[in-house]
Amino acid sequence: MEEDKNPILEQENYFKEYQKNIDDLKNKPEIIEFDKLTYEVFGMNEQGKRWLELVKERYVIPGLARLGTPTYQIDVIWGEGLKEFPRLIMSALKSHQQRIAAGK
């Protein structure tokens, strides 16, 4: 005989909704297509790999705002905005590499 579970004593699964969102995103064709194209351009192509390395070295890694300038706060926001697109490319590349490793 199975015991009735007490919902007050049950531990809440905080990861459940997060996992559902991950699963929903995994199978969206528009995301898969973008990730695959990004992988083909920046993961399989030597020029694409080199371009991404240069972007990381020149724009993503270094700080683009100079401390002490009158527009420092605005420059920080601008710099982070500029860095966001290469980060999106790197994320899509990694996502497709993980999809390949998982056999999907």
Q: What is the pLDDT of residues 3-53, one digit of tens each?
A: 678 777 788 788 888 787 777 766 788 888 999 999 999 999 999 999 999
Residue 48 near residue 42, CB atoms below 8 Å:
yes
Residue 49 in domain? yes
8 A C-beta contact, residue 89 and residue 42: yes
Mean pLDDT of the chain: 88
Predicted TM-score (pTM) of the model is 0.69
Percent of the chain, pLDDT > 70?
94
Q: Please indicate, yes or no, if residue 9 is contained in any of the structural domains.
A: no
Residue 61 sits in which domain range? Answer: 26-101
Residue 80 lies in a domain: yes
Q: At what angle are helices 72-101 and 29-42 packed, to 10 degrees?
A: 100
User: Does some domain include residue 21?
Assistant: no
Domain presence at residue 14: no
| 76 has pLDDT over 90 | yes
For the CA atoms of 21, 82, 55, 66, the dihedral, rounded to the nearest 10 degrees, stands at -130
Residue 4 lies in a domain: no
**Is 67 a member of any domain?**
yes
